[in-house]
Structure formats: C-alpha cells, structure tokens
Structure 1
C-alpha cells in the first residue's frame, strides 16, 4: 500500500520555477529519501504535499485521501519537521510541547519526557535561550510526540552535532520498526545512504530518477583507477559507459557502467603499475545523474 502518492505535482510562483510534474510513491513502512541540492525544490514539494501551499496543478494523496480536501484529518497522523523552526520565544520548552500535544487529544507527557531524554533536551528552558541545535531538537520532539504513522522530515539534521545525529537516526529507525513510514529530505547523501531503501533525486524542480539505493550502488557502476608506465592516447578510454574520465600524467580514473570484460580487455593492453576497481560512493553516482541530465 502507498502511504504517499504524488501525481504530476506542479507549483509555480508566478512565472518563477517551483516544481514541475513531480510524481513518486512512498510505500507503507518505507524510509524514503528525497535528495537534491539546496534550492532544488524539496521543501516546495513537501509543503505542497502537506497543503501548506496549494499546487498549481497535479495532486497528492496521503493514506489514500486527497491531501488538500482531507488535510485536517490527514494531519492528525503526520509528524512534520520543517527545515527551519520558529517559535514563541517566551514560552518554556515543556509548555510549547504540551500546547502541541493538545491538538492530538491524547496524553503525550510520557512520550515527551522519553524523547527529551534521548535527545538531551532541557524542558525547563525558555525557547529564547536555546541554541539552534536545541531548537531543532524541540522540532523533532514536536514532530514525534503523538507517535505519527507518517513522519516527514525536511533537512532534519542541520544544527545537530554528529553525536546527536546518530541518536536521532537510531530514534527514526526505532519509529520505523514500530511501523512508521518516513519521508526524509536531505542534501547530504551519506544520511540518505544510511537510512533509506529508495531515493528520489530532484534537480531544478524536476525529478531526475527514483531508484533503490542498492540499484544506485550496484555493479552497474565501477570506479576504476589505473597507474600506468607509459602515457596513452587521450581517447584511449573514450567508449560507451565511461564517464568522469581523468588522465593526469600516468594516472587514469573514471566511472564505468557496462560489460566489465570489455573494459578489462582495454586495460590488459597497457603496462600497468597498479590497478584499483571499487564501488563508487553515492556522491559520485549522484553527480553522474546531475551531469547526465545537464
């Protein structure tokens, strides 16, 4: 079953670009990554999905219901952390969280204390006195305090130190094991690589691809580096499947996608000092998608 269904979602700001024809589904129980550089349209997609802003065209469903028409009902089951959080400065953290909890008509006080303990958040402080990282923690607790079925996170780790990021990831994995579906938006590939099963890549408001993380990393790409004795013609490795080719003196490096035997035949013709064949990291694959689109 799909928890999120996005169909040809388009949002224009006058004549300026927002997002164009975005379509993807998020399955129940999945941790789904939504990735692209800052300004690619991730937040616009999420805000439109949550009907915080209305689409120019296209539609979205959450739990099989229309995200605009059924918004009040849907939002009871969703935990949302925006990329930037703003609060009433004079409120104490606990008062703010109790106020948030009051919308869900259930006692969340145990849950608030549990989350605050994990994230090392002082509930007695005023919002005004908190650092950026601690304000982010308030947002995380606020998004999770009612044990939502769907958690939507927009750049959730900005402001958190590395140790706190690890605790936060553990917390998300725990929620996922309990059955929560998670949409995780980020421009940091290692986060997505660690948490997600599938990923949608967005660029300049358009969807580039939706892939399983394992497919992105699979054997269809190899990172090859060769140290040779003699220089070779510049076009020696210019064949289909070779990208990011760099030749510097006696060092050659490139990404290769295709029949490994074809490339090995070319390599064995050379006088090799050393050879490295590795799996590329997601970062390199991601850049390949971006360049290919360009």
Structure 2
C-alpha cells in the first residue's frame, strides 16, 4: 500500500541556512502521525512543503501519490489544511466564509459540506453569524479547524491546530481527530501540546534542528527513558541499605529518609529498572511507586541528546550515524 505522505531526503535552504537536512518521513494511510519539536525545528517548513506553499531545495515529496508541485487544485481539494499562522479577516460572516470554502472544496455536495461545517461549529462553540474579523483568536482558530474538517478530506495537515483554544475545546478537537481516523482519513498533526500527541498519534517523529532525531510509536519513545521511583522498605541498617542503592546502575538523584526502621527512597532510574528491583527485593517492601515518564520528558531528553550532535555537524555534513527514521523506513520497505 502506498504511503499517504512520502518524504525522501528533503532539504530546504534559505540562503546559507539549512532549515531541513535530508528529511525522511513516511505516513501510512488511515493513521494519525504526530510531528513534534521546538520552535525552529523545521515542522512548519515541512508541512508547507506538503501543500506547495514553499518548494524544496532538493529531495522528493509525494502527497496522496502526487507531487504537490504538479497536483494543482485537484490535489488540494483532497487535503484539509490548518496553517500554523492562521489569518482570517474580512467583513463576511463565518457562515459566508464557510459557504465559500464548501463551494471550492469540490469533493462532496456543497450543501452537505456546509451542513457538516455548522455541526462542527456547534460542537466547537463558535458563532458563525459574526463577521470573521470581530472574532477572538480562539474563535478564528475554530473556523480554521471547521474549514479543514468539514469536507472530510483524505488527508488532514494540521500545524499547531489548538493554538488559542481553551481546554474543553481542545478535548473536542481530539475527538474530531479520532473520528477522522475511524473514517479512514489520515492526519498529520504538528503540536507543542505533547498530551495531544500522546492521546491521538499512532506514530511520532521528533524534529530538532531540521533533522528527525527519533521516530516510532509513542510507546517506543518512552522505552529506556527515566522512571521516577519511590519506595519504603523495612531495614535495621539504613547506611548499608543506602550503600546498596548507591551502587544501582542508572539510579540518580537519590534521596533517603530514615524514620523508625522505615527507609524512604526516591530517585530516578535511567534505563533498565531491573537492577533497582533486584536490590529492592532484598528488603521488606512497604510501598513502591514507579512513574513512567510522559512523552514530554522523553522528548526533552532527545532534544538534549541531539543538540550537541546537530551543533557539531556543519550545515553541509550529513549526520555521522544513520537517523533512526531511515532505519525504520528501510525496515518497513523490507517487510513490503
């Protein structure tokens, strides 16, 4: 099956600055793909290339089986797009604006498309009778979401889609994404709100300095990350117990408190948790809490690991090691 989005060795230069370094990214049909990274990582540049707002300096891009540079109106009608910087102005009302979008979308009956738009407006809580220019930033963002979703496109490309939305509306948006996936639509979601990625994405790519530094499913990005641990044990020799835990590989930030034979231990385990558990098993365990890190903590560690590598590389040099995404893509190709 052909991937909905195929990006191979994509590079984008702005003068002497390279915004994207031979980026590889493949998105399977009917999935939600999360794209995360700090400001300047290359997320928006990547998404704008997919909708032909900007042109690549080198490499290849295919969206729904076509080159965005040649797909024209027919391809754009198959895509719902929310830009990262949404500008909606004018004297027309939200109703008239959505009516216009329903006419130009061309993929379904315009009346049915507009009816869907009004239903989405009710769900998101936006008054479409008001002139668009009078709407708040959050309500303009809602109109942007409605125009992207209402014609039920094959592909949704959403760049920071919940910017300016309150938490309740964000929750409704996540439900809209789940419904789109259930309907067989593909969603490419760029976000700074990592909980959105955790709750909706099937696969994730982490961008930093124009490169993919990690990719895979959400769970795989959490593997091997630090875990926060807290335990209470019974012991008559607190000093010896502390020495045992000090020798556990990967256990750091250890805090120990002794109270009447009950030793409280807290810290973080970086890597395998088995050595910590084996030491813990030598004692009577009164309480144990192991907290898996959320995606944000994992991603921040990936940023930190990649920053030095990316900074050391010149703008002309390729990374010393093959990026994880390329290994993953090669593995997928081998299974086809």
Structure 1 residue 44: Cα displacement: 0.8
Contact 1:24 1:210 in 2 (8 A): no
Contact 1:50 1:71 in 2 (8 A): no
Q: Distance in 2 between matches of 1:129 and 1:237?
A: 63
CA distances 1:29-66 after superposition (whole Å, capped 9, x unpaired): 10111111222211111011221101111111111212
In structure 2, relative to structure 1, the CA distance for the partners of 1:255 and 1:71 (3 Å cut) is farther
1:179 — aligned with what? 184
Structure 1 residue 4: Cα displacement: 0.6
Structure 1 residue 205: Cα displacement: 1.3
Moved more, 214-223 or 60-69: 214-223
1:52 — aligned with what? 53
**Structure index of larger Rg:** 2
CA distances 1:150-200 after superposition (whole Å, capped 9, x unpaired): 001111111111111111111221122111110111011111000111100
1:277 — aligned with what? 290
Q: Distance in 1 between matches of 2:78 and 2:301?
A: 37
Q: Distance in 1 between matches of 2:205 and 2:79?
A: 20
Query: Do structure 1's residue 261 and structure 2's residue 274 form an aligned pair?
Result: yes
Moved more, 67-76 or 25-34: 67-76
Q: Distance in 2 between matches of 1:199 and 1:115?
A: 27
Which of 246, 250, 253 is 1:246 aligned to?
A: 253
Query: Do structure 1's residue 236 and structure 2's residue 246 form an aligned pair?
Result: yes
Q: Distance in 1 between matches of 2:133 and 2:305?
A: 46
Structure 1 residue 123: Cα displacement: 1.4
Moved more, 66-75 or 85-94: 66-75
1:67 — aligned with what? 68
| Structure with higher helix content | 2
Aligned residue for 1:38, secondary structure, equals coil
Which of 164, 189, 193 is 1:188 aligned to?
A: 193
Q: Distance in 1 between matches of 2:197 and 2:155?
A: 17
Aligned residue for 1:83, secondary structure, equals coil
1:287 — aligned with what? 300
Aligned residue for 2:189, secondary structure, equals strand
The two structures, once aligned, show a CA RMSD in angstroms of 2.6
Structure 1 residue 147: Cα displacement: 1.2
Contact 1:91 1:127 in 2 (8 A): yes
1:93 — aligned with what? 94
TM-score if structure 1 supplies the norm length?
0.88
1:158 — aligned with what? 163
TM-score if structure 2 supplies the norm length?
0.78
Which of 115, 118, 125 is 1:120 aligned to?
A: 125
Structure 1 residue 74: Cα displacement: 1.6
Moved more, 95-104 or 137-146: 95-104
Contact 1:4 1:60 in 2 (8 A): yes
Contact 1:11 1:48 in 2 (8 A): no
Query: Between Structure 1 and Structure 2, how many residues are aligned?
Result: 290
